Structure 1
Amino acid sequence: MTRPVVLVTGVGRRVGIGAGLATRLAHDGWDVATSHWTPYDERMPWGPQPHDPDDVHAGLRAAGARTVAVPADLSDPAVPARLFETVEAELGPVTALVLSHAESVDSSILDTTVESFDRHVAVNARASWLLVAEFSRRFRAVPGSGRIVALTSDHTVHNLPYGASKGALDRIVLAAARELQEQRITANVVNPGPVDTGWMDDDLRASCLERNPLGRMGTPADTANLVAFLLSEQGGWINGQLLFSDGGWKA
């Protein structure tokens, strides 16, 4: 049988949530296209991981998936359309879109720069809108099989541009659940809570462990379990929801 194609954005590091999503979906029978942007990692505390995209894709191929990794600067409004063009040329039409990319640089109300705010909105909100729109325009699968899932966060304190742009992302994706109803595409948002992929220090990690009722940190696999279900046939009745997959963190 022909494997359906999923596009997962933000798969730049092996330890990231995006890589966990892509790997799970490959094992579930999807062909997997990914996007990444190494210059973003160069600005982050963990630094560039130039070999990680290739390592992730070796694992996807080992799981039986056809796959392509596309460098994509999502701050450029022309990139979402080009990304879909590349993926379709390599793998065929996309049946599911998973938005796992993010610009996330901590700053507060009084010290956020206009440049930083605009970059966060461009990557987290505008690019997500353009990707959703492009997905809809190009969607050719059976009505009812299309899926959109986006990862979000409710972190806002001392993380103003990230939190504000993620709030906009939520509204864009939830609107798609209604606006794309002619194609029967489902659209949901998942908040995975704190998942340590290299951005936590020891104090923050200890605080998160103490606060979580299940007594452990979330993992990319935890998020992937829910996303995989939402993309499955069994998950097709869940639509227009913002779901928490955080072990009770928000309780």
Structure 2
Amino acid sequence: MSDDLKRWQSERHAELSSPDSWLGLVGLFWLQPGRNPVGRTATATVVLPHGPALLGDLSWADGRVVWQSADGPEVALATDLHGAPTLVDFENLSFFVVDRDGQLAVRLRDRNWAAKAPFAGLDYFPFDHRWQIVAAWQAIDPPLTMEVPNVSGELKTVSVAHRAVFELAGQQVSLLPMAVGDKEVFFVFRDRSSGRETYGAGRFLKVPVATSGQITLDFNRAYNPPCAFTPFATCPLPPPENWLPFAVPAGEKKWLKPV
């Protein structure tokens, strides 16, 4: 195993064991236009596990979200649409607004989550250089338009202009990217290990952008999506085109929640 892969695995562990880990999420609350109370009562839009009956109000109007605490000034909140969202802290709790194709929701986090059940780490398949696959990066003309569902059943329209094509065990297969950036390409895939040794809904893979018509798919870096760790994430599901007809015994294995 290369030092680079060891460093990547170490960074994954640090991310998942931190106070801001996906494991610390304790709620996802969809907002409605207008006033959205935040507090301990069951009638609040954002229900806190402890604290005052009314901590404050989130107001969503004219494309803006404003936080008005019960004893403080108004604060305009940035969502996660264009970067890091604005955090609102209360004791060990922290919440922020996420934008999912124009629908807004609040994610609530307990930053002291690890005191109850510390993160024990991830299991990986042994490194295997055979799963470092150089694929052809083929243009799709005209681009393909797909409706990609997430775990909540909502659909997102994705335009796909390229595919990664490779041959394995006598089969030619392809993967469609969910996003192509300036530095990396993002895939969501399933394989015959899904639901057995790996997370049932599939795994994520980020790789460097293609060069000279080729793209390297290092499945040793395949990793579990946030939905493997919390029910309060909205992860994309792999399209049928990305259901591989063989097992991929590389990368992260299924994470088992401590009992």
Tell me the TM-score range normalised by the shorter chain: under 0.3
TM-score by length of 2: 0.24
Higher RCO (C-alpha 8 Å, min separation 6) = 1
**Larger Rg computed on CA atoms:** 2
Flag the structure with higher strand content: 2
TM-score of the pair, normalised by structure 1: 0.24
* Higher-helix-fraction structure: 1
